[in-house]
């Protein structure tokens, strides 16, 4: 049911611009108004989430430890797995954000021979996730050529490297192939694996299908539909300069692609996809483990009246003496 619901929602998101632009001529709605609303929701929603994370108190150091903590001089510490300095935290965060270091150590467990529980490395999830995220980042960076004039040299260099294996015309970008292959693997992984399928919710299927719809529609426009690139450039530059105009001749498939991107922007701040920004606010990752060097005291603690053992003994001295219990003082 979760998969069916996600498929229905994606079909509706595709059908709305396809039908309304082609039949009712609502190209201005889907080309100007919806993108502006989506961008506003994305920015405001992301700021609200960041402020919510920033307000959470973190009085104690609770980093995830995967190695030897710094202690005695003759014991070698693990500077990345258990960092005790800011430099170590920066190195750990870079490895986590850029290369998914914690996911690389992912393991699976299976019950084999009906009695033996076996653990083994599972690198396919790490490879698929890393391939998708890097390909998605490069694809987004390549799209800056539609929003900037002149096109920055770094974007041109990135396009040249991405199309290094030139095959025919138009040039096939390597990231276009990788992003579709990675999303397809991540999607079918949830369907084929019975245990993963059992715990998967609509919030797991919908983002994958939405991203896959964006990628497939973009690839179809570039290699098969032959959309008017000049008209798209004019539309995007108008959106950036706050003087929107919708040129004629742009196919309905482009508005489907743009509407799916707008849906992703609206959905992003309120979904699990926002982990892209939340990882930087995670106290298990962004704090140094210096608990042996420095005592951390909760600044919100208030003085509490305690009942010491000396006071307890003074209060019950006669009872304790009658029961022949040992006393600190007679």
pLDDT in tens, 15-65: 999 999 877 778 899 999 999 999 999 999 999 999 998 888 887 888 888
Cα separation, 230 vs 144, whole angstroms: 15
**H or E segment at 116?**
strand 116-121
DSSP letters for 218-246: HHHIIIII---HHHHHHHHHHHHTT----
Q: Would you kindly state where each structural domain of the chain is located, as residue ranges?
A: 2-300
| Tokens found for residue 243 | 């003087």
DSSP state of 211: H
Q: Is 14 left (phi over 0), alpha (psi -120 to 50) or beta?
A: alpha
Tokens of 153: 């040299």
Task: Work out the number of other CB atoms within 10 angstroms of the CB of residue 59.
Answer: 12
d(CA 260, CA 251): 15
- Residue of 89, 101, 87, 62 lying closest to 283 (CA atoms): 62
Distances (CA, A) of 109 to 116, 120, 121, 186, 188: 10, 7, 9, 19, 20
CB-facing half-sphere around the CA of 144: CA atoms within 13 A: 15
Note down pLDDT in tens along the chain; length 330 residues: 889 999 999 999 999 999 998 777 788 999 999 999 999 999 999 999 999 988 888 878 888 888 888 888 899 998 888 998 899 999 999 999 999 988 888 887 777 776 777 777 778 889 999 999 999 999 999 999 999 888 888 888 888 888 887 766 678 889 999 999 999 999 999 999 888 888 889 999 999 999 999 999 999 988 888 778 888 999 999 999 999 888 888 888 999 999 999 999 999 999 999 988 888 888 888 899 988 888 888 777 788 888 888 888 888 888 888 888 888 877
CATH number at 2-300: 1.20.950.20
pTM: 0.84
């Amino acid at each position: 049911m979760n998969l069916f619901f996600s498929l229905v929602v994606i079909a509706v998101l595709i059908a709305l611009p396809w039908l309304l632009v082609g039949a009712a001529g609502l190209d201005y709605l889907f080309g100007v108004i919806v993108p502006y609303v989506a961008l506003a929701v994305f920015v405001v929603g992301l700021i609200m989430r960041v402020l919510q994370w920033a307000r959470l108190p973190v009085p104690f150091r609770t980093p995830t430890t995967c190695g030897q903590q710094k202690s005695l001089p003759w014991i070698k510490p693990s500077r990345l797995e258990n960092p005790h300095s800011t430099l170590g935290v920066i190195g750990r965060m870079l490895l986590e954000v850029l290369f998914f270091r914690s996911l690389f150590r992912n393991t699976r467990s299976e019950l084999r021979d009906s009695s033996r529980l076996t653990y083994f490395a599972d690198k396919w999830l790490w490879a698929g996730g890393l391939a998708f995220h890097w390909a998605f980042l490069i694809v987004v960076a390549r799209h800056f050529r539609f929003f900037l004039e002149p096109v920055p040299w770094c974007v041109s260099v990135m396009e040249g490297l991405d199309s290094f294996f030139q095959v025919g015309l138009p040039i096939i970008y390597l990231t276009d192939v990788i992003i579709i292959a990675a999303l397809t693997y991540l999607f079918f992984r949830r369907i084929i694996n019975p245990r993963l399928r059992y715990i998967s919710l609509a919030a797991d299927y919908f983002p994958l299908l939405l991203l896959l719809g964006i990628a497939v529609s973009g690839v179809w426009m570039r290699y098969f539909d032959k959309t008017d690139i000049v008209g798209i450039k004019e539309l995007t530059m108008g959106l950036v300069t706050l003087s929107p105009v919708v040129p004629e001749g742009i196919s309905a498939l482009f508005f489907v692609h743009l509407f799916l991107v707008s849906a992703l922007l609206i959905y992003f701040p309120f979904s699990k996809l926002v982990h892209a920004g939340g990882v930087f606010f995670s106290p298990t990752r962004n704090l140094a483990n210096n608990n042996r060097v420095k005592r951390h005291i909760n600044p919100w603690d208030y003085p509490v009246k305690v009942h010491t053992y000396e006071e307890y003994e003074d209060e019950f001295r006669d009872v304790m003496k009658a029961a022949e219990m040992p006393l600190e003082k007679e």
